[in-house]
Structure 1
Amino acid sequence: MDIDGRQIHLNCEGRGTPLVVLEAGADTSGAALWEPVQKQVAQFTRVCSYDRAGIMWSDPAKGRRDSLAIAEDLHKVLRAANERPPYVLVGASMGGPYVMTFTKRYGEEVAGMVLVDASHPEQTARLAQATGEPESDPIPFAFRALAAIAWTGLPRLVLPDAEVPELPSRTAEAITAYQPTSLAAAFAEAAVFEDSLREAGTLRTLGNLPLVVLSRGKPWSAFSEFEQTASGLTREQFNRAETAWASMQAEEAGWSSNSTHRVLEDSSHVIQLERPDAIIAAIKEVVEKVTHGDVSP
Structure 2
Amino acid sequence: MTHSSPPLGRHYDIGGRQLMLHRSGSSGPTAVFLAGVGMMSLDYLNIHHRVAELTGTVLYDRAGSGWSDPADLPRTAGEVTDELRALLRTAAVPGPYLLVGHSLGGAYARHYARRFPGEVAGLLLLDPFHEDMVVRAPRRARERLDEMLEQMRDQELKDLTEEQIQQSRDQMAPHFAAWPEPVREPLIERHLATWRVSAQENENLYDQVADEFRRAPDTPDVPLIVLSAMGHDVTQAHLWPEDLLREINEGKRALHAELAAEAPRGEHRILDDAGHGWLHEERPDAVLQAVNDLLRTVSRVS
Q: In which range does the TM-score fall when normalised by the shorter chain?
A: 0.7 to 0.9
* Equivalent in 24, 30, 33 of residue 19 of structure 1: 30
Unaligned 5+ runs, structure 1: 144-158
Unaligned 5+ runs, structure 2: 1-11, 154-166
- 1:179-231 CA-to-partner distances (Å, cap 9, x unmatched) read 3542344333222212222212334732431001101121xxx67xxx59962
Q: How does 1:90-105 map to 2 (within 5 A)?
A: 90-105=100-115
Change (3 A) 1:15 1:267: same
Quick one: distance in 2 between partners of 1:141 and 1:37?
35
* Equivalent in 255, 268, 271 of residue 275 of structure 2: 268
Quick one: distance in 1 between partners of 2:121 and 2:151?
33
Change (3 A) 1:279 1:80: same
User: After TM superposition, where is structure 1 displaced by more than 6 Å over at least 4 residues in a row?
Assistant: 140-143
Quick one: distance in 1 between partners of 2:199 and 2:236?
26
TM-score (norm 2): 0.81
Change (3 A) 1:15 1:237: same
Aligned-pair identity in percent equals: 27
Residue correspondences, number: 272
Q: Does 1:234 align with 2:244?
A: no
- 1:92-121 CA-to-partner distances (Å, cap 9, x unmatched) read 001111112212221211111001000111
User: Is the contact made by 2:37 and 2:103 (CA closer than 8 Å) also made in structure 1?
Assistant: yes
Change (3 A) 1:290 1:204: same
Quick one: distance in 2 between partners of 1:259 and 1:84?
24
Matched residue of 1:123: which SS? coil
Quick one: distance in 2 between partners of 1:193 and 1:55?
16
* Equivalent in 168, 174, 186 of residue 174 of structure 1: 186
* Equivalent in 241, 244, 256 of residue 263 of structure 2: 256
User: Is the contact made by 2:131 and 2:211 (CA closer than 8 Å) also made in structure 1?
Assistant: yes
Change (3 A) 1:10 1:286: same
User: Is the contact made by 1:138 and 1:191 (CA closer than 8 Å) also made in structure 2?
Assistant: no
Quick one: distance in 1 between partners of 2:295 and 2:140?
36
Query: What is residue 209 of structure 1 aligned with on the other side?
Result: 222
Q: How does 1:37-186 map to 2 (within 5 A)?
A: 37-62=47-72, 64-129=74-139, 131=141, 133-136=143-146, 160-161=168-169, 162-163=172-173, 164-165=175-176, 166-168=178-180, 170-186=182-198
User: Is the contact made by 1:130 and 1:240 (CA closer than 8 Å) also made in structure 2?
Assistant: no
User: Is the contact made by 1:17 and 1:86 (CA closer than 8 Å) also made in structure 2?
Assistant: no
What displacement does 1:242 show? 1.5
* Stretch deviating more after TM superposition (4-13 or 186-195): 186-195
* Stretch deviating more after TM superposition (181-190 or 92-101): 181-190
How large is the Cα RMSD of the aligned pairs?
Answer: 2.7
Change (3 A) 1:41 1:89: same
Amino acid paired to 2:105:
G
Matched residue of 1:126: which SS? coil
* Stretch deviating more after TM superposition (131-140 or 82-91): 131-140
Quick one: distance in 2 between partners of 1:210 and 1:262?
14
TM-score (norm 1): 0.82
Matched residue of 1:102: which SS? helix
What displacement does 1:271 show? 0.8
User: Is the contact made by 1:90 and 1:96 (CA closer than 8 Å) also made in structure 2?
Assistant: yes
Greater RCO, 1 or 2 (C-alpha within 8 Å, sep 6+)? 1
Amino acid paired to 2:214:
G
